[in-house]
Structure formats: C-alpha cells, structure tokens
Amino acid sequence: MLRSLTRELRFLRRDRGALFWLALAFALSVIAVSFGIAEVREQRATIATLVEEDAADRANALSTQQDWGGAAYYAFHLTYEPPSDFAFAAVGQRDTAPWKHRIKMLALEGQIHEADTRNADFGLVGRFDFAFLTASLAPLLLILLLYDLRASERTARRHDLLVATVGSPRSLWLPRATLRVLGLAILLLIPLWVGAMIEGASPGVVLQASAIVIGALLVWWLIVELVSRIDASPSVLLTSLIGLWLALAIVVPAISKAAIEAANPVPDGGEILLLQRETVNDAWDLPKDDTMEPFVEQYPEWREDSVIDEGFEWKWYYAFQQVGDQTVAPLARQYREARLERDRDAGLVSLLSPTSFVERAFEKLARTDAMAMVAYEDRIRDFHEDLRRFHYALIFPKVEYDAARLEDLPQYDPSR
Amino acid sequence: MTAPLEARSLSLMREGNAVLDDVSFSVAEGEIFALLGGNGAGKSSTLLTFLGFLRPSAGEVLVEGRSVHANVAAARSSIAYLPEAASLYGHMTAYENLEYFLDLAGRKATRSDLDSAFERVALAEEARSRRLQSYSKGMRQKTAIALALLRETPILLLDEPTSGLDPVAIDEFHDLVKALASSGQTILMVTHDVYGACQVADRVGLLRRGKLVGSFAAEPGRRIDTETVHAAFAEREAA
C-alpha cells in the first residue's frame, strides 16, 4: 500500500486540477479559521471593554445613592458568555442568540427577551466559519476531487489499460482516492490546528474536531464512491453528486427546520416582554396586597416585612417586579423548553444530513450550540436571583443604608 | 504443453446479443495469432475477455493454463495489453508515463531501459521529455508499444496496434512484433487490416458476428497469402 501511495503521490503532484482544488481547500480553511479567530477576538475585546465600563458605571451610579432601593435600581450588571477556546471554529448560535446582557434588579425575563424579536433559533447553516467549511464546502471539494477518478479514465479510453496493467482495480483506485481524501483532510486541518494552538484550545477538543472532519470526509467519500461506480459520463456523475449534495446539505436541513419549527412552536420573545411590562405597570394601580401576597408565596421569609405602610416603598416596587417575572414564568419556561425540544429534534434529524450533523457536532465542541446559549440564560437567572436575595435582605427588613455593604454585591461569574 | 492463451467454446452475451458464439482457439508460445474481422465482429471483446473485463456467458478463457476468471489479477500480470489508440497521460512526458505505468505493474526500469525501449519503437530522443499532449497519434502509439515491451510479459495482446502509424512505422512495428515472438512472447492481435495480419501473423482467424469462421496458417518459410485471406474475408462479410 505504501508503494501504491508513493506512486499516486507522484501522480497527484502532476495533476493540476486536483492540486487546484486542494490548494483552494487550504486557502478556504485559512480564511475560515482567520474569520473565526477575528470574530471571537472581537467578542472578547467587546466583553473586556464592557466589563471595565460596567464596573466604572456601577461604581459611579452607586456613589450617589442614599438608600438600598436606589442602589438596586440604578446599578446595572453585565452578564456575558465568553467564547470558548474553540469557538473560533464554530461561531454557531452566538450569531443568533445574545451572548451579553446588562441587567438590573427589575423584572428579569423582559430584560432577557427584549433583544429577541424573532426568537433565538438553531442555525442549520451558519456563517463562513470552519464548521461551515467542513460541513458544507468540504463535501463539494471532495466531490470535485473524486467524482471522475474512474469516469475521466473511461472517457480518455485509458481505463482498461490502467486496470489491465495494475491487475487489481483496488490497487489503483483505492490509493488514488485515499491520497486525495487524506490530502484534503490534512489541508483542511492544518489551519484548524494552528488556530487551535493560537487560541489555546484543549488537545482533546482538537482531536475530536479532527475526528469529525475525517469522519465527515469518509462519509462523503463513501457516497461519491457508490455513485461513481455507475458507468456514466463524468458530467452525469458530477450532476448526480451535486444533486445529492444539494439534497443532503440544503434541502433536508431546510425541510427539517420548517417541520421542527411547526412541531415545536416557540412563543415570541416580544410576548414575554409585553406581558411582563403590562403586569408591572398594572401593579401601580392594584391594591398593594395583590402584589405582596404572590410575592411572599415565593419568598415566605419576608412575610413579616411585607406590609406596605407608605404610598411608595422600594420593597413594594421590587415585589411587583418579582411578580412580573412570576406571571411570565410559564411563557418563559415554554420558550426555553420549546427551544430545547427543537434542538433535540434537530439533533435527531441531523442523522439524515451529514452537513447538519457536522455543524452541530462542531457547535457542541465549541460550546456555541443552543444548549450552551440556554445554559447562559439560566446563569443570568441564577445571578439575578443572587442579586435579589442580596438586595431583599437589605430592603425588606429596612436595614440602615451603608454604602460599604455594597462591596459584597454579587459579581457575575461566567464560569459558574 | 499448455498453450499460453486458450479460448474454449467461448460465448459472450451483452444486452441480449451474442457478441461471441462458441469461439475456440489457442495460441502457442512464441506464436503470433491475428484475429481478423469487421466492425462488431467481437475482436476487442475477445481481448477484453482474456483481460478479465468481460465474463463469458459460456465456455472459458485460459491464460497459461489457468482460468482467467478464477484469478483475474494473476492473468493480467502475465499480459501486456496495447489498446487501440492507447491514450496515455497527456500532461506527462513519455518518460513519466512509462515510469508511472511500470510502477503500476510493479516493475522498475532505469532511464537506460526506457531509452532502449524508445529506440526499439523509434521514438525520437528529443520527444521523450515532452508532454504527450504535443504528440502525434503515431508517437503516442509508439510510446504505448514501448510500455508493452518494457512489461516483459510472456503474453502480448494487441488491439488494432498499427492504427495511426505511418507505413514506415507499421513495417517497423511488424518487425518488432516478429522479434518479440521469436524471443518466445505469445502474441494475440486483433485487427481489420488483412494485409498487416497476413504479413506478421503465424496464423490468422476470421471472426464474423462473434463466430470464428475460418483459419489460415503460414507455411514454413512463407507468409500467409493475403489474396486468399482477403477473398475469404470479403466472402464471409458479404454472406
């Protein structure tokens, strides 16, 4: 086999057509990895700037406050989901789902969903990143490298001479195709490996990503191999293979997406926002007990401190913010569950499309998939809950204002 | 003694049509056997059956006494095949083509071996380092013949070997084929060139619509009479 590979390597070095496609694969991989690195660096820079400005802004806001309610009201808190060390390879859901939110002690769900005007969605075909290259374009390059290995020799009336000379056809076509697939894999992977080193991605993740690339190419190789055994002209084979690629890379994902969306309706983010605002605004006009009763059901520890004596009290104000969240909780839960359900269904359907499968596998490795973005929203909710507990403990018992205690304000930790 | 090439009651059906019908012949070691026939007579199909590309619907073909279809690779390793208008790689030089194809056959040849083969087929020295895309049809055929020579197999199958060669080159080729047979190589050639076949072959078989309908052998010290074969060929074709 080694001798056959050496022979075919010498042959490949003279095949300008194949060299062009291989060089193009390398160039596209370099571009995809560069775009990915530039994008995550920009996101990291944005986060670094926001973290700095957020701290300064909060310190400034808190410095002028005279009571706990004002301190809670005027302080913003930045939350964010930093890109993973492998996100450069698959930007994934970070294109469609927010990865940073500045939140405050008001009703939370509206703050999470106010940026969502069209529902965060699972992306079946994403931007031009390495995942897209591997999932969608690499199969095309593979098709172009392999589709006419046999057919072009038949057309040139060289096939029988080649096979008669080599004896066993396997000794010719296998090394010839292997070398092209191997070359394509290596040329796609080298920029990824370099990018991973630059970004400090873990070797385990890089190893898994490399296995995905090789696995995807092997699947497409099998498809091309089966089709190119048909005794047809190169143009017929190419047309058939491009048709198959279109079906598996575009049509199946598009139809699946439409079917999954229809089967798992997701409430509009705007509905959550609107319902919450109405609840909060209506609370001004309702008897205070109508707000405080549902509040203490959630936080019974403040029952004794939930009596509102004056016309306006911060604890009443934050209680109706809280109740706003309680009101939209079923809708927000439905939104979250439907997204996860869509993601689960998309995972099953991706078994029908190598393109979707590869894209999803990369997003999972890069932690840029729908699960990761839902997990980020859950972290925001946890952090907001920490803020509430911190502030409630100061507002409800009417603790005397002491700005020094604000140094213990919960800090958002993206790794928690 | 086992004949290097033998067809036993060979029949071949393709798409419901009989391409070969109960064809039997053998070619002895060092013998040149020419199968003559018009278009669609089944000449090339006979060669492709010996090479294992076509499977007989009845009968069998044997190479060095072994059934071809029992071990196709073994049969092919004993045969050098020169297809009609052999198309080698146009983007490679004659040297590169031969090196590649010999490598395919599991053989290595030095540059001097290659030059020696090129000299035997009279391929000009200056042309050998040029890409074949600049070659004439005859020059390409000479390169392919050089490849067949370098294979040094006991059997040579030639499909319309002089197609595209000029008269001088045809004479040189016939001399070359006779020399190869003299050195013990068994040669089966298919052609529709009655004159060429009679000039070079020890035996000529007439193939018509898949049937072997006549056979002519050279007398010791004499070539096959072209007129006789031509008349028989014309008569059979007209029938």
Pairwise CA distance, residues B87 & A153, whole Å: 9
Q: Chain A: residue nearest B159 by CA?
A: A161
Chosen from B72, B99, B103 to mutate, greatest number of chain A CBs within 10 A = B103
Q: What is the pLDDT of residues A67-124, one digit of tens each?
A: 999 999 999 999 999 999 999 999 888 877 888 899 998 888 888 887 654 444 434 4
Same domain, A385 and A373: yes
Strand ranges, E, within chain B = 5-14, 17-27, 32-36, 58-63, 66-67, 79-82, 155-159, 186-191, 203-208, 211-217
CB contact under 8 A, A172 and B81: no
Residues of B in contact with A173 (CB under 8 A): none
Q: Do residues A159 and A239 share a domain?
A: yes
Of A3, A7, A157, the CB nearest to B87: A157
Q: Using the beta-carbon criterion (under 8 Å), do B92 and A14 form an inter-chain contact?
A: yes
Check if the beta carbon of residue A368 is closer than 8 Å to that of residue A91: yes
Q: Does A165 touch chain B (CB under 8 A)?
A: yes
Q: Could you tell me the pLDDT band of residue A126, with boundaries at 50, 70 and 90? A: low
Helical segments of A136-251, H only: 138-146, 151-155, 159-166, 170-199, 203-228, 234-246
pLDDT confidence band for B239 (50 / 70 / 90): low
pLDDT value at B236 more than 80: no
Write the CA distances from B46 to A14, B158, B192, integer angstroms: 35, 11, 14
Q: Is A1 at the interface with chain B, CB within 8 A?
A: no
pLDDT computed for residue A117 by the predictor: 43
Question: In whole angstroms, how far apart are CA A85 and each of A40, A98, A168?
Answer: 9, 18, 47
- DSSP tag of A127: S
Q: Mark whether A66 and A138 lie in a shared domain.
A: no
**Interface contact flag, B103 A156, Cβ < 8 Å:** no
Half-sphere CA count of B238, side-chain side, radius 13 A: 6
Q: What's the pLDDT tens digit per position in B148-177?
A: 999 989 999 999 888 778 888 888 888 888
Least CB–CB distance from B85: residue in A16, A157, A172: A157
Whose tokens are 């898994």? That residue is A208
- Give the count of beta carbons closer than 10 Å to the beta carbon of residue A41: 14
Which positions in chain B touch A156 (Cβ < 8 Å)? 87
Confidence (pLDDT) at A125: 45
Alpha carbon of B83: minimum distance to chain A alpha carbons (Å): 7
Which strand ranges, in their side-by-side order, compose the sheet holding B66-67? B17-27, B5-14, B58-63, B66-67
Whether the pLDDT of residue A191 is over 90: the answer is: yes
Q: Which residues of A touch B53 (CB under 8 A)?
A: 160, 163-164
Q: What is the mean pLDDT of residues A270-279?
A: 84
| Residue B40 DSSP SS3 | coil
Put simply, the answer to whether B104 touches A166 (Cβ < 8 Å) is yes
What local confidence, expressed as pLDDT, does residue A121 receive?
46
Q: Does the distance separating the beta carbons of B83 and A165 come in below 8 Å?
A: no
Task: Tell which residue, B107, B104, B68, B18, has the closest CA to residue B188.
Answer: B68
Phi-psi domain of A92 (left: phi exceeds 0; alpha: psi -120 through 50; beta: other): left
Q: Is B190 helix (H, G, I), strand (E, B) or coil?
A: strand
Q: Count CB neighbours of A301 within 10 A.
A: 11
What range does the domain containing A205 cover?
A: 2-26+130-263
Task: Kindly report, residue by residue over A339-368, the tens digit of the pLDDT.
Answer: 899 999 999 999 999 999 999 999 999 999
pLDDT of residue B237: 66
- Asked if the Cβ–Cβ distance from B100 to A158 is below 8 Å, we say no
Q: How confident is the model at residue B50 (pLDDT cuts 50, 70, 90)?
A: very high
Q: What pLDDT does residue A119 have? A: 40
Q: What is the pLDDT of residues A148-174, one digit of tens each?
A: 888 888 888 899 999 999 988 888 999
Q: Are A232 and A308 in contact (CB under 8 A)?
A: no
Distance between first and last Cα of chain B: 37
The answer to whether the Cβ–Cβ distance between B73 and A162 falls below 8 Å is: no
Residues A257 and A116 both lie in one domain:
no
Supply the ipTM of this predicted assembly.
0.89
Yes or no: say if B139 and B96 are a contact pair by the CB < 8 Å rule: no
Q: Which of A218, A241, A263 lies at the terminal end of a domain, its last residue?
A: A263
Residues A87 and A36 reside in one and the same domain = yes
Residue A112 confidence (pLDDT): 86
B34 backbone dihedrals φ, ψ, rounded to 5°: -110, 130
Give me the phi and psi of A297, to 5 degrees please. Answer: -60, -35
3-state secondary structure of A86: coil
What mean pLDDT, rounded, does chain A reach? 90
pLDDT value of residue A110 = 86
Type and span of the H or E element at A102: strand A100-103
Which burial class, exposed, middle or buried, applies to A281 when counting CB atoms under 10 A from its CB (0-12, 13-18, 19+)? exposed
Q: What percent of chain B has pLDDT over 70?
A: 96
Taking CB atoms and an 8 Å cut-off, how many pairs form between chains A and B?
Answer: 60
Contact list, A167 vs chain B (CB under 8 Å): 72-74, 76-77, 105
- Distance, in Å, from the CA atom of A6 to the CA atom of B32, rounded to the nearest integer, reads 37
* Residue of chain B whose Cα is closest to the Cα of A173: B104
**Domain B5-78+153-238 class, CATH top level:** alpha beta
pLDDT for residue A228: 85
Distance from CA of B212 to the nearest CA of A (A): 25
The percentage of chain A sitting over the pLDDT mark of 70, rounded to a whole number, equals 97
Gap between the Cα atoms of B169 and B165, Å rounded: 6
Is residue A413 domain-resident?
no
Cα(A197)–Cα(A205) distance, integer angstroms: 12
Beta strands in A258-305 (DSSP E): none
In the block, tokens 């009290």 appear at A313
- At CB < 8 Å, which residues of chain B contact A? 48, 51, 53, 72-74, 76-77, 79, 81, 83, 85-89, 91-92, 96, 100-101, 103-105, 144, 151
Q: Which residue in the set B74, B81, B92 is minimally distant from A161, CB to CB?
A: B81
Average pLDDT over residues A223-249: 90
CA B158 to chain centre: 1
- For chain A, what percent of residues have pLDDT higher than 90? 60
**What was the pLDDT predicted at B238?**
67
Q: Cα dihedral sign for A54, A55, A60, A63?
A: positive
Cα torsion angle, B40, B43, B44, B50, sign: positive
A15 in contact with B, Cβ within 8 Å: yes
Report chain A residues whose CB lies below 8 A from the CB of B91.
14-16
Chain B positions in Cβ-Cβ contact with residue A172 (cut-off 8 Å): 104
- Cβ–Cβ < 8 Å for A394, A405: yes
Assign 3-class secondary structure to A67-84. CHHHHHHHCCEEEECCCC
Q: Which of A120, A94, A116 is nearest to A42 (CA)?
A: A94
Distance from CA of A176 to the nearest CA of B (A): 12
pLDDT attached to residue A266? 83
Does pLDDT of A176 surpass 90?
yes
Enumerate the domain spans of chain B. 5-78+153-238, 89-152
Query: Which residue does chain A place closest to B80, by CA atoms?
Result: A165
Q: What is the pLDDT of residue A320?
A: 85
Q: What is the mean pLDDT of residues A287-311?
A: 84
**CA-to-CA distance for B84 and B97, rounded, in angstroms?**
17
| Alpha carbon of A158: minimum distance to chain B alpha carbons (Å) | 6
**pLDDT > 80? residue A128:** yes
Kindly state the average pLDDT of the residues A238-242: 94
Same domain, A205 and A285: no
The answer to whether residue A172 neighbours chain B at the CB level (below 8 Å) is yes
pLDDT tens-digit readout, A138-151: 999 999 999 988 88
Instruction: Indicate whether A256 and A314 sit together in one domain.
Output: no
Asked whether residue A414 is assigned to any structural domain, the reply reads: no
Question: What span, in angstroms and rounded, lies between the C-alpha atoms of B74 and B72?
Answer: 5
Residue A295 has pLDDT above 90, yes or no: no
Whether residues A80 and A209 share a domain: the answer is no
The number of folded domains in chain A is: 2
Task: For residues A102 and A148, state if they share a domain.
Answer: no
A204 near B CB under 8 A: no
| Same domain membership, residue A18 and residue A158 | yes
- Give the pLDDT confidence score for residue B220 in this predicted structure: 65
